[in-house]
């Protein structure tokens, strides 16, 4: 009898419909189906492995996820330390601030009359509406706050911690910025100028000369030093964009100054972009290995799916499966209230790199 091929060992198991299954039970069954269903189930497994290992977990957040209704999921990830550091677009933080201040986004339609919306000063994000007047109020609120700060450069990490504290003290509401403030989780926003937060900062400078200066190069130094301090890292990316590259370049920059850094040990990305147009958002995790952004033996998976579909399922499953892991996890401890943050009691400079390369033999 001919020996069965080594490629034909594990059969696909058709998904059987059954009432009352929890999200983790659904993903367990999806491990034996194909395509993006199996990849999402794999992401569930890898995230658990991240939390069970001694790694610093970076979360990248791009797209219109806050406006689209996912902001409290991300706040939950932060509050419960399923992640240790957030890198976000400014828009996601701005739309989070919008709702934390008691305002809303509204169900709309991609087929709306946009000229009529403009007449009523309604802004549209695909099938979601929001008030332009409320956005103007947010910009002024940010400007007024920024004008109270010292007239010196702030990294985005320092500024967003201060902003999150002010937001919490004035609203007492849950959100991404307030969760990060309360949990002492750092947030970086490398493209902060490309957002309404950047617009608010520019208005602060109009109010008070010297206000609104953001040191984005300090962000690069600080994020790389964070990895130098804790070389074992993991990356979760929602939607690609600037946050994805910032997390990856932090590892590359850190490796320049420390031989102990060897790329992320785990990686999950949930993206709709594809690699064959050359953009960073759709680039594969295998491509990241060629740059040294990802360890050659890293546990990794790409889920080609809309984050608004994948993340609620994934987070709901993790809510069941990770509590025993979190009970024994020793997450890194940050202090963020000063110009230079610390991690596990060690300073993380933002003005110079900590060189720890081993001497040549």
Q: Is the dihedral of CA 313, 293, 337, 63 positive or negative?
A: negative
Sheet with 233-238, edge to edge strand ranges = 187-188, 85-88, 56-61, 233-238, 264-271, 294-304
CB 160 within 8 A of CB 90: no
| 293 classed as catalytic | yes
Q: From CA 265, how far away is CA 225, in angstroms rounded?
A: 17
Half-sphere exposure of 120 (CA within 13 A, CB side): 11
Q: Exactly one of 3, 4, 32, 293 is catalytic; name it.
A: 293
CB 105 within 8 A of CB 71: no
CA nearest to 101, candidates 48, 167, 160: 167
CA 241 from chain centre, in angstroms, equals 11
Q: From CA 244, how far away is CA 264, in angstroms rounded?
A: 12
| DSSP at 214 | B
- Residues marked active site are found at 293
């Amino acid at each position: 009898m001919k020996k069965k091929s080594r490629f034909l060992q594990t059969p696909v198991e058709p998904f059987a419909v059954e009432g009352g299954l929890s999200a983790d039970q659904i993903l367990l069954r999806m491990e034996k189906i194909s395509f993006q269903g199996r990849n999402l189930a794999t992401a569930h497994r890898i995230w658990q492995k991240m939390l069970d290992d001694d790694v610093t977990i970076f979360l990248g957040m791009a797209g219109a996820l806050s406006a689209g209704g996912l902001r409290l999921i991300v706040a939950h990830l932060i509050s419960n330390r399923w992640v240790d550091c957030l890198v976000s677009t400014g828009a996601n933080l701005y739309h989070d601030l919008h709702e934390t201040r008691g305002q809303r986004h509204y169900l709309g339609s991609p087929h709306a009359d946009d000229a009529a919306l403009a007449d009523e000063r309604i802004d549209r994000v695909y099938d979601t509406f929001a008030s332009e007047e409320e956005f103007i109020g947010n910009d002024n609120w940010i400007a007024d706050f920024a004008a109270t700060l010292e007239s010196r450069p702030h990294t985005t990490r320092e500024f967003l911690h201060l902003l999150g504290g002010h937001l919490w003290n004035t609203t007492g509401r849950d959100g991404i910025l307030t969760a990060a403030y309360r949990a002492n989780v750092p947030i970086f926003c490398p493209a902060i100028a490309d957002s309404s937060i950047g617009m608010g900062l520019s208005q602060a400078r109009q109010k008070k000369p010297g206000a609104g200066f953001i040191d984005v190069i300090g962000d690069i130094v600080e994020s790389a030093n964070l990895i130098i301090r804790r070389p074992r890292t993991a990356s979760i990316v929602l939607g690609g964009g600037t946050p994805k590259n910032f997390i990856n370049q932090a590892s590359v920059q850190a490796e320049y100054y420390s031989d102990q850094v060897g790329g992320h040990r785990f990686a999950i990305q949930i993206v709709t972009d594809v690699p064959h147009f050359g953009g960073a958002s759709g680039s594969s995790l295998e491509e990241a290995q060629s740059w040294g952004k990802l360890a050659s033996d890293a546990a990794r998976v790409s889920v080609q799916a809309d984050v608004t579909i994948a993340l609620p399922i994934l987070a709901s499953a993790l809510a069941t499966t990770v509590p025993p892991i979190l009970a024994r996890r020793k997450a890194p401890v940050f202090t963020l209230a000063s110009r230079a943050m610390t991690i596990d009691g060690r300073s993380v400079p933002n003005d110079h790199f900590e060189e720890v390369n081993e001497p040549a033999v």
